[in-house]
C-alpha cells in the first residue's frame, strides 16, 4: 500500500469517528407585525385591525362599564412609534348593560376575520395603565368561535393586569370545563409597577404546549397534562385581541382613587413562526 493511500485511509477513519453536530434549527421568521409607525392622531392600519364597538352582551360578559369606540380619542397612533388606547371617563352615548349610557369610553382592537395563526411566538411590548378598576389585556380567541362558541373555541390570555394588583400580570388558558374563574394559569410578579416602563409579553405556542414569557423569561408552561382529562383546544387557528377595559367582575369598578384618562401604550405586536 502506498504511503499516500495509507494517509488517506487514516484521515477518513478519523473523520468517521468525529460525531456530526446536529443541524442548527432555523430561527423563527417574522410572519406578521405592526410597528405602529405613522402620524400622530391617526387610526391603526385597517388592513390589520378591526374594532369591537359598544358594551357587548352583559358588559362583554364581565359587567364591564366601558363602551368601546373607533374614535381617535380612544385609539390612535402617537407619532412616536406607538399605538395608544385611552380609557376616558365620559358619557359614551352608548347603552350599558346596567341601564343608561356607559360613562366610560375606551378601545378594543382585534384581527378577527382578518388574520389568525396556529402556533408561533406571539409578542407585544406594552406600557400598562394603572388604577382601581383598570383592566388591560393582550389575548387570543379560537377563530372557530362563531361555530362552537366560547369557551369551546379556547382563549389564551397572554397578558392581563387588574389595577388593584399593580405589580402582577396574569397568563391564563380557558376552554371547555376550565373557563372564567376556573381558567388555568399563573401570575408573574415585578419589583415595581408594570405601569412604570415598557415590558415585553409573549407566548411560545407549539402543538400541545404553551409557554408564557415576560421580558424573554419563561414563567409558566401548560400542556394537556394540566387539564385533568379535559379537552385541549389550542391546536387550532386563533386571532388576536388587545383592549383596555374599565370595571367588571374581576377588577372591580373604578373608585375615587382612579385617575382618568388612563393609557395602554403598545410599541409593537409581532408574530414569529418556524
Name the helix (H) or strand (E) containing 224: none
Residue count (the chain): 274
Classify residue 206 as exposed, middle or buried by CB count within 10 Å of its CB (0-12, 13-18, 19+): middle
Return the residue matching grid coordinates 368601546. Answer: 68
Q: By C-alpha distance, which of 107, 204, 118 is closest to 154?
A: 118
Look up residue 45 and give its three cell numbers: 392600519
Residue 155 known to be catalytic: yes
Report the alpha-carbon distance of residue 192 to residue 168 in Å, rounded.
9
Which of 64, 66, 123, 160 is catalytic? The answer is 160
Q: By C-alpha distance, which of 86, 114, 100, 110 is closest to 55?
A: 100
**Cβ atoms within 10 Å, residue 6:** 10
Report the alpha-carbon distance of residue 28 to residue 106 in Å, rounded.
34
Catalytic residues: 155, 160
Amino acid at each position: 500500500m502506498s504511503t499516500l493511500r495509507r494517509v488517506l485511509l487514516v484521515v477518513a477513519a478519523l473523520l468517521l469517528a468525529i460525531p456530526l453536530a446536529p443541524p442548527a434549527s432555523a430561527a423563527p421568521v417574522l410572519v406578521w407585525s405592526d410597528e405602529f409607525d405613522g402620524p400622530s392622531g391617526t387610526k391603526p392600519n385597517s388592513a390589520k385591525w378591526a374594532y369591537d364597538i359598544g358594551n357587548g352582551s352583559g358588559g362583554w360578559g364581565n359587567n364591564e362599564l366601558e363602551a368601546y369606540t373607533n374614535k381617535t380619542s380612544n385609539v390612535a397612533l402617537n407619532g412616536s412609534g406607538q399605538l395608544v388606547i385611552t380609557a376616558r371617563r365620559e358619557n359614551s352615548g352608548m347603552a350599558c348593560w346596567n341601564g343608561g349610557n356607559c360613562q366610560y369610553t375606551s378601545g378594543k382592537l382585534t384581527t378577527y376575520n382578518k388574520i389568525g395563526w396556529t402556533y408561533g411566538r406571539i409578542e407585544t411590548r406594552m406600557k400598562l395603565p394603572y388604577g382601581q378598576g383598570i383592566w388591560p389585556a393582550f389575548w387570543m380567541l379560537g377563530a372557530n368561535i362563531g361555530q362552537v362558541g366560547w369557551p369551546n373555541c379556547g382563549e389564551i390570555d397572554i397578558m392581563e393586569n387588574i389595577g388593584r394588583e399593580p405589580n402582577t400580570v396574569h397568563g391564563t388558558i380557558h376552554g371547555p370545563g376550565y373557563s372564567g374563574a376556573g381558567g388555568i394559569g399563573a401570575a408573574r410578579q415585578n419589583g415595581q409597577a408594570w405601569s412604570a416602563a415598557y415590558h415585553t409579553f409573549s407566548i411560545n405556542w407549539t402543538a400541545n404546549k404553551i409557554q408564557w414569557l415576560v421580558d424573554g423569561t419563561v414563567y409558566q408552561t401548560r400542556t394537556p397534562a394540566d387539564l385533568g382529562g379535559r379537552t385541549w383546544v389550542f391546536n387550532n387557528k386563533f386571532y388576536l385581541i388587545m383592549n383596555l377595559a374599565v370595571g367588571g367582575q374581576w377588577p372591580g369598578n373604578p373608585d375615587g382613587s382612579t385617575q382618568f384618562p388612563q393609557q395602554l401604550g403598545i410599541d409593537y405586536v409581532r408574530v414569529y413562526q418556524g
